[in-house]
Copies of this chain bind each other. A is one copy, B any other.
């Protein structure tokens, strides 16, 4: 009984995600679903991305939080194309929430939509939003064992970002250990190391975004 209900929820979400995916494809929009623990630096990356692509790409942002408009207010200083979703306690975004948020954005004018999921390294990875790519962001201060302890999100992500590289010197983070553990789970996805604070590695991230915008728009 319980399992049946859960299956129905996931089936319903998948159907809505497929509708979102079709809309995104028809709109020639690259859609990224950004996942991480609380405080890993998702919002900082979104802010840096908007700043660095200003005048080159029109970017929309959906901010997911269980409450507050704190992050959307930060993004709102750089662009009007931002919508805050408050899940009201739910630990992840789902495809229906994205459908509603997208209806309030002028997506025909956008090149890129970044969805900043609720800060949670577990639940969001199970819910397809219709995105092109899932991106997991880990951070040096969280420690090098995250792939060992939270495998699903590393398995399912198309890109792995390691943020807060500026803290490497004051931490005992073992980069080889982290990379090897990621590779055991996911041999294909690129790992980009960066620091939103110092700017280190951000040019690689921006290149990744531009490369995938181009690929997407040529389809």
* Contacting pair B38 A146 (CB below 8 A): yes
Q: Which residue of B lies closest to A147 (CB)?
A: B68
Q: Nearest chain B CB to A88's CB is how many angstroms away?
A: 11
Determine if A89 is an interface residue (Cβ-Cβ < 8 Å): yes
Residues in B with CB closer than 8 Å to A65 are 149
Determine if A96 is an interface residue (Cβ-Cβ < 8 Å): no
* Bitwise interface map of A from 145 to 170 toward B, beta carbon under 8 Å scored 1, else 0: 11011111000000000001011001
Interface size on A, residues (CB 8 A): 36
Q: Nearest chain B CB to A164's CB is how many angstroms away?
A: 7
Q: Nearest chain B CB to A139's CB is how many angstroms away?
A: 7
* Contacting pair B167 A66 (CB below 8 A): no
- Of A15-23, A104-112, A116-124, A203-211, the segment with at least 4 beta carbons within 8 Å of chain B is A116-124
Determine if A67 is an interface residue (Cβ-Cβ < 8 Å): yes
Instruction: From B67, B121, B166, give the contact of A120 (CB < 8 A).
Output: B121
Q: Nearest chain B CB to A50's CB is how many angstroms away?
A: 19
Determine if A143 is an interface residue (Cβ-Cβ < 8 Å): yes
* Contacting pair B119 A150 (CB below 8 A): yes
A37 and B121 CA atoms in complex are apart in Å by: 9
A38 and B67 CA atoms in complex are apart in Å by: 20
